[in-house]
Structures are given as structure tokens and as C-alpha cells.
Structure 1
């Protein structure tokens, strides 16, 4: 079903806000290939080296043209393909957040979707695609995104267009999609186009056929659930009747919560098992299967916080690839992948609830970050345990502290574990800074620490300051009747 000769296994690398150093790819790509990967699906957003009129889209630590050339060189050494991904409709925040491009929003307040009827939308998009293809001119595929186009057809210009053409919002979507894909196919003959499928799932067969959409693009059907997929009836049959090829997309991280920090691996294993069952159920339609993309979202969108870091998710990815390669998941599969990644025991596929014993012996690229995030999650659990302890709730509540009515004996019993936890977190912060520098640029490290470790350190600091204050006061008020209730 997923034989190397006919079906690609793409690893989706979501680069927005957390681009790994190219030196990390030099270590990562050989590992991915050894587990069955045949390609990378690179979602750049603002990490691409845009220039000229669109240089303002480029983030501080965007890749350089030399970086992308180097990445292609590494991929060529290991005989894998690279597919760049550029959004062309929805999830356009990295463009529309800028004041220079605000007029192209579908709704002025929201930077999510590009207005398809604004006269400047297509020229801007054409520049982005041209610049991307300059650095990907030898690649055979381009992924054009096109998922989750929220607020479609809501601006006055679009509404007037819809009314004048007597069309629906789905017609408007197809009109833009065909305009973009036909231009790309004409400009880059031989280039194969892929799109996310969610916006066309419920479009009738006749409409899909009438625009000859199947001549210009192939859908990538994404589903990240661990149970039976909730998809429109007859969708696979419609797709098979329209398109020359089909792709599917599973998830190995970034699909179970916008603030998730450790992937629930069993969920992702089950997601891949469900894909195997779905393909078996629709085997006639999936004779056109071109490949699978193992998606690994780094943020839920451009404005969301970082979720599971890529190195933290390598065990999940390798186990999921094993499921697809073997079309099953057995204890032997579990053991083989664990040993290949250097684990001294089986990879823990159920990392929650925390705290849990931290795994040992792994040696895959970025494994120190994997250890560090588990340490942090255990410390968070320790903090919650202290915060909900009898000592905190019974003798050191906000109410009692505000009235300086505390017992130094109880305060000291609270202060000691809080102080220990603070020291542990400060030590971990130093280690994570060093470990993450091997993989990421400084701004990614600053964000991760600022979102996860530093807020907890601030809470601990405030509690310790309150403890010291209460000890200094030292029981000057002993009669609760004298309190100013």
C-alpha cells in the first residue's frame, strides 16, 4: 500500500516561528530516511527569504538562499524530494498582519484570509510564488495550502461579485483556486500542485468537474482523529472521479491542543491505524494514492504559541512511520523503533498524566530537548501539587496573606519546597537554553522559555516574596478577631 516505488512518505516540517538550523537538518534527514521518509513538505510562511517588494514578510531568522540550496543538497544526498508549501488563500496571517497588506484582508479586523476580488491580491501572490520557485525550480511539486478559508465572501466587494455572478461562496473559492492554479501551471509547465482538501469536501461532483479542477491540482485529505473520520458521504468517490491523484495527511504532533507540549503518541499511532483502515475500506478510490504527509504543526496558526517542539516529537514521528511502513503496530515494531532511537526501554506512548519517570538512553537528534520538556512538565505538576496542598490552602491562602494572618511555622513548610522548585527550574532553564541552541535560533528559545518556564518562575518568585514578608511580620497579629474583615 505504501511501497517506496509508488507512494511518497512526506515529513511535514512547519517552520513558522521555529525554524531549525540547517545543521539540525543534516542530522535529522538521515534519521528520517532510515525510518522510511521519501520527502520533506516544508511550510515556510515568514521563514522564506522573501526580497524586494515583499522583503517585509521575512522574519529576523529567515533562511537564506544559501540555506535552501544547502537543504536541497542534503536531500539529494539521501535521494528524497522537497515540496515547498505556500499559502494562497487562508492562513495568510504572515502577509496580512503587515500594514502594507492590510487592504487585502477579506475582513479588515481579521488577518486570516486574502480577499479574492481585490485587484492587488493576485499580483502580490504571484510575486510570492515566483520568489519561492526561484529557489525550488528543480522541485516537481508545490503545495498551495488553501485550507480553512474563514469568512469567505464576506467583504462588500466579494458580496457584490457573488451577487452579480449569481454564485455561492464555494463558487467563489473555486474561481480563485482555478485562477491561481491555472496561472501556476502555465508559468511552470510540469509542476505538480497539491492542496489541502477541506474547502472542497462538500462541493458537488458536477461543480468539481465543470471547472476541470482535476487537471491542475491534487487534493491532500487531512484527518488527525484517532477514531473513525467524520467526512462527507461519497467524498472519496467524488475525488476519485475528478482528480488524477490523491494524497492523505496524518499527524505526529501539533494536532491535539494548541498548548500541547508532549505529543500523546498513542493518539497519533491510532490516527495512522485509522488511516490504514480508511484506505482499506476505500481501496478502489485509493488506487490513485500518491503519498502520505506526516504533519507536524508547530503552531495552530501564525498567532498561536509554540506547541510540541520538533525534537520532542521525533519518537512519535518514527513510531507513526513504522505503522505506515508495516501497516500495523505490534510490540515488535514498538521495540524496533525504541532501539533505533537509543531508548533503554520502550518509548512511552502515554506521557500523561504527569508526573512520570523520565526516559533514559535515547540518542536521536535533539533528544536533550525531549528530556528537558519532560522535566519541565514534571516540575509543573509539582507546582500544582504544592499550590493545592493543605499547607497552601489552609494556612497561606490569598485571604490570609492579604491580612498578614499567617503562622511562620506553616510558612516555612511552604517556603522550602517552593525554593527547591525554583532552583530546579532555574537550572533547567540554563540547560534548555544550551540544548535548544543546538537546534534553534535565539528568538525561538526566547519565546519557548517566555511562554512556559518564565511564567512559572515568576509565580514562584511571588510566593517566596510573600513567604519572606510573612515571616518578617512574624505573628504580630495573633488574634483573628483583630483582623480587619
Structure 2
């Protein structure tokens, strides 16, 4: 979405922001007492760059587009070019995030393996050397920026190594954890980090993080995630000279190639509840009521949206609420279809084996077909409403992707089952000649 230009113009999405759009975003942010922190991935999660043939040569593993090769001579000029273009359109920003999480492939290519062998380095050394190289370049070119990076690749690195490489002088870690109750972090993590870094950030999630094809955020899970962070921070944040704050992340995809998970309008109630938890460091009935009323809910926001189906509120007032309603309706219909698919009628009288031999009881088939027709009709009608609702918020390609990923395949599946039902009903339960079965 960034308007990259020049040698990296090929990275632009067809509907990328214009420079004027970015200026406007900064204006809106300032009017609402917000700051913008750009994030540019500089190591892992580099798919948006490495998917292009022009950049394929700097992949760490040629067949995988996830991570760049830190020893490739073209890698550093490319990364600094991306950073420069972003910073140039964010001249007044004070913070900059360099990513660097989940570098799954490191030290795998022949060039990196030679580097490790010649310099007697570990993959941790290679990771740190690249991050420090990028960070020092940014600090030299843009000394006004405070740099942030994800922390996960440093969690198992010893205190001695973190100190000796001086990474604490140039970046601040953002510790991410998205579990509801118990965090999967080394027990000495904050002790080590406090001995290395002056400032620290943490990150929770208000959507995403619970499933790559999730439609609705499990709100109570995300509320519990915030509450767990409140508890963890009360114990450890005093160890740092500066606690910067918490980032409530909202995932759109698990990576560049994944399908969309919860779209933003569906997660606005969850975001507001999570913000309330963080600012009040608790979650009470009064908090629940306050947020629900602010968003126009006639009753309390449902924080346990599963299992489905469930009654759906429809009179809210927050932006995008029609999409919130539509996706909940979709989830109800999916649940109804799954119930039919797992019903005794479907499994006992309409199995693949029985259908392949045209040996079905039309009484049972009709009982299966009628509710499937009802679900199909409901889905088709919902699609006619949901598309324009989505288009109010998203670009056409996003709407096409969401409908094409989730609704259309189920519509086609239902049509196929209905056609098979009609075929079996026409056969009328007559005995057919069995084909010889070979085992």
C-alpha cells in the first residue's frame, strides 16, 4: 500500500496510497491525538518483496519467499531504499519499526554458510549482525528516530551476547504474546531485556492470532490476553527505565500469502473492549456496559461468539456495523450447514459410498435436501447485501477475495449437494446392478 517508486516501484499495489494520502493520514492522526509508527519488514516476512522476480535472487532459500539473505550484496541497498522512501514521507515521525520477527530461514544458503564457517558465527550472530547493520544505518541517516523491533528472534539469545553486540543502544524490543492466559516466554526474559534495553514495548492482539481463517474474533480470548499483559506488566515493567506502551495488533493475514482473517469492522467492538481493558487495567460489568452503549449495542457486546448459531444484534451505530452483522449471519449459516453435514441422515443415508452406487432412500434424501436448499437461499440473499456493505469499506479486490474465499465455495458446494439429492430422488430407491468391487 506504500507508494514505492524508482527501482522498487514494482512493489506498489495497484491501489497504493498516494503521497498526498499519507500526508492526509498524518493530518487526521494529529487531529485525533494519534501518532503514526511506520513498520517496514527488513528480514523475515519479506514476502511482499521476495515474491517478485526482480528480487528473487536475494531469498535465503530460493524456493521460499519468507526471508532475505543477509549476506547477499543486493540485500542491504534494497532494504535501505525501502526505508528511505518510507521515512521521506513520514518526516515528523519519532518512531520506526524494523520488524525482524519470525526469520524462519537463516544461515541456509551457501553464501551464509560460508560466512558462518569463516567467522565462526552462529545463526544468532548472523541475525544480530544484520539487524544491527540496518539499525545503525537508520540511526546515522535519521538520528531523530527511535527504532523498534519484534523481540522473538532474541528470546533465546544469552544476556552476554545481547550486551556485547550493543543492540540495546540502537533499538527497543516489542515483546509480543497473544495467548489468553499463560504466555510462552522464557522465565528470565524481562530480567535479560532490562539489563540490555532502556526502553521496551509489548504487543497484544484484538483480532487475528487465533486462526488463519477466523471470521469473528473470540472476544473473551482477546480480553483475557490484555488482562494477562496487565498482570505481567505490573510485575516487570518497573525494571525498565522506559515502558513505552502496548500495541494492540490487528492481523489482516497470517502472512502475505494467507487468506483474510477477521476484517476490521467485525473486530471494532473487540478493539474497543480491549482498549478499555488496557486503559482501566481491568474488565468489569461497568466497562462492558460502557463500551456496548458507546457503540450503540442495545445489549452487552457478545464476548463469546462461539459456538454458533447465535442470536445477532442488528441495531448498532459504529462504522462498519453492517459488515459485523453480515459476517455473524454468515457464521450462523456455516454452522447450520456443518450440522447438516454431520447429521445422522447425511452420514447414515447419503454417504459417498451409497451415492457412488446410487443406493439411497428418497425419504431420507428429501429430509437432507430441504434444509440445504434453505441454507443456500439464505446465503445467496446474504451475498447480495454483504457485497455492497463490504464495498463501503474495502477495495473491490478485497471484497472479491473475501466473497471468493468464503461464501462462493460454500454456495457451489451446496448447489452440488442439491443436484446430487435431486439425482438420487429421481432414481427413487430402485435397486441397481452392483459393480464388482475389487479390494
TM value normalised by structure 1: 0.87
Contact 1:358 1:371 in 2 (8 A): yes
Whole-angstrom CA distance in 1 between matches of 2:293 and 2:57: 54
Partner of 2:348: 394
Following TM superposition, by how much is the alpha carbon of 1:406 offset from its aligned partner in structure 2, in angstroms? Answer: 3.0
Whole-angstrom CA distance in 1 between matches of 2:351 and 2:162: 63
Partner of 1:439: 393
Following TM superposition, by how much is the alpha carbon of 1:417 offset from its aligned partner in structure 2, in angstroms? Answer: 1.6
Partner of 1:479: 431
Whole-angstrom CA distance in 2 between matches of 1:294 and 1:65: 26
Q: Secondary structure at the match of 1:82?
A: coil
Partner of 1:31: none
Following TM superposition, by how much is the alpha carbon of 1:421 offset from its aligned partner in structure 2, in angstroms? Answer: 1.1
CA distances 1:37-84 after superposition (whole Å, capped 9, x unpaired)? xxxxxxxxxx21111111111122222222212111111211210011
Within a 5 Å distance, the mapping from 1:272-287 to structure 2 comes to: 272-287=226-241
Whole-angstrom CA distance in 1 between matches of 2:240 and 2:105: 32
Q: How many correspondences in the alignment?
A: 436
CA distances 1:236-260 after superposition (whole Å, capped 9, x unpaired)? 1221222221101011111111111
Whole-angstrom CA distance in 1 between matches of 2:387 and 2:14: 19
Q: Secondary structure at the match of 1:292?
A: strand
Q: Are residues 1:289 and 2:240 paired?
A: no
Contact 1:240 1:288 in 2 (8 A): no
Following TM superposition, by how much is the alpha carbon of 1:286 offset from its aligned partner in structure 2, in angstroms? Answer: 4.3
Partner of 2:100: 146
Partner of 1:418: 372
Q: Are residues 1:265 and 2:219 paired?
A: yes
Following TM superposition, by how much is the alpha carbon of 1:108 offset from its aligned partner in structure 2, in angstroms? Answer: 0.8
Higher relative contact order (CA 8 A, sep 6+): 1
Whole-angstrom CA distance in 2 between matches of 1:171 and 1:361: 56
TM value normalised by structure 2: 0.96
Whole-angstrom CA distance in 1 between matches of 2:231 and 2:288: 20
Partner of 2:119: 165
Partner of 1:186: 140
Contact 2:198 2:240 in 1 (8 A): no
Contact 2:226 2:277 in 1 (8 A): yes
Following TM superposition, by how much is the alpha carbon of 1:287 offset from its aligned partner in structure 2, in angstroms? Answer: 4.8
Following TM superposition, by how much is the alpha carbon of 1:281 offset from its aligned partner in structure 2, in angstroms? Answer: 1.5
User: Runs (4+) of structure 1 moved beyond 6 Å?
Assistant: none
Long gaps (5+) in structure 2: none
Following TM superposition, by how much is the alpha carbon of 1:192 offset from its aligned partner in structure 2, in angstroms? Answer: 1.1
Q: CA RMSD in A?
A: 1.5
Whole-angstrom CA distance in 1 between matches of 2:56 and 2:237: 45
Q: Are residues 1:247 and 2:247 paired?
A: no
Q: Secondary structure at the match of 2:60?
A: strand
Partner of 2:413: 459
Contact 1:279 1:286 in 2 (8 A): no
Aligned match for 2:149, one of 195, 209, 212: 195
Within a 5 Å distance, the mapping from 1:213-362 to structure 2 comes to: 213-362=167-316
Long gaps (5+) in structure 1: 1-46
Q: Secondary structure at the match of 1:94?
A: helix
Whole-angstrom CA distance in 1 between matches of 2:160 and 2:346: 66
Within a 5 Å distance, the mapping from 1:96-135 to structure 2 comes to: 96-135=50-89
Contact 1:105 1:115 in 2 (8 A): yes
Contact 1:142 1:194 in 2 (8 A): yes
Q: Judge which range, 120-129 or 392-401, deviates more.
A: 392-401
Alpha carbons of structure 1 residues 145 and 283: separation in structure 2 relative to 1, 3 Å: closer
